[in-house]
Amino acid sequence: MTMLYFDFNATTPMSHKSKMAIQDVLDQFANPSSRYRLSNHLITLIHQAKESVSQLVGGLPERIIFTSGGTESNNLALHSVFGQLPAGQLSRYHAICSAIEHSSILEPLRWYQKQGLKLTIIEPSKTGRIDLDTLCNAITPQTCFIALMAINNETGVIQPYDELAYRLKGKGIHLHCDAIQAVGKWPIRCFDDIPLTISFSGHKFYAPKGVGGLYYSQQVKIYPLLHGGGQEQGLRSGTENTLGIAGLAAAAEEANEKLIQRFDYCREMRVYLLTQLDKLGVNYHLNGETNPEYQAPWTLNISFPGIRAEALASRLDLCHGISVSLGSACSNNSQTPQRSHVLLAMQSPHSYIDSALRISFGHVTEWKAINVLANALQQETQHLLSISGEQKI
């Protein structure tokens, strides 16, 4: 059975160029912090990698810190704000975030809230987008931090982070943008005239797992999470993951060259998949934005009324070799199954949440795979509805 992958928001396969870049440095084993010529190539590699990534995120290379990935980058951004505040005085400060942020933003903020931080969580519209007027109306004189992601990982809804950055000019409020689902796939703008951090993760755009980074503007003072060896200008201690960084740089160069081409390809695929489902008479409901300007085309959060998503995903996997997600891959690590916090925040009916699949693809997805997916969805939704007594076939 041919395995077909439709969970690119969870992770992507490494590109050939990324693999070759890693292979080229497999024998370069020296520690980049060492002071002999054997390390020189790796020191140069790290500097060049920051140049490549900076072109992708639109910032200065010296303001990029390499990390182990998105979760560490998000926590480092939060720690750089709240870790520097006077002990026992968090109650004097206020933070704002959206209800649809990734758990690596929401959980640390809730922890700080337990320590006294005042926290306002902004609910999205029913299509999953944050209203900036609502968010900005929540700003108080004590507000020191706002988190708004670039693109939601479950729905693919594009958030107005760049417009928010304009509104925050001159206010001195730190804006953090979780751009993990955007960098490498969507144009990201850096703003150096406000306190700003932007997180990204390599394995979301065809680089290896275990490497990512954090961009910080000149108005941000990074407060390290990890102390010790003093790597990354003392901002992130730990011997650099040179293999991962090499692969990340190669993937960043590819993404920068082909960003628009890949975006257009995914947009065409999205339209084609929905057209095929309509032709096949599949009953579905899209969770997310209907305005394509606000919707990442590579992500479909789609409900199949009357069907349990777990059953549908299982049958797609076992009977057709098709991999799809029930939502965020990280949420699958929860000890107890929980409804999507994103869809709940969007006030989606429980029947839609319980029947929702996240289908995501990339530029390496083939057209014939879309046909196989559409036909499999038609076959399995009919089968599951028939055994539930809701539809006869």
Active site residues: 330
Q: Return the H-helix or E-strand segment holding 359.
A: strand 356-360
All residues at 6 or more sequence positions from 64 whose CB lies less than 8 Å from its CB, including other chains: 50, 53, 54, 57, 213, 214, 215
Specify the 3-state DSSP secondary structure of 240.
Answer: coil
Residue among 89, 141, 71 nearest 333 (CA): 71
Burial 19-50 (b: 16+ CB within 10 A, else e): bebbeebeeeeeebeeeeeebeebeebbeebb
| Residue showing tokens 């036909």 | 375
The residue count for the chain: 393
Inter-residue contact 300 to 270 (CB < 8 Å):
yes
Specify the 3-state DSSP secondary structure of 174.
Answer: strand
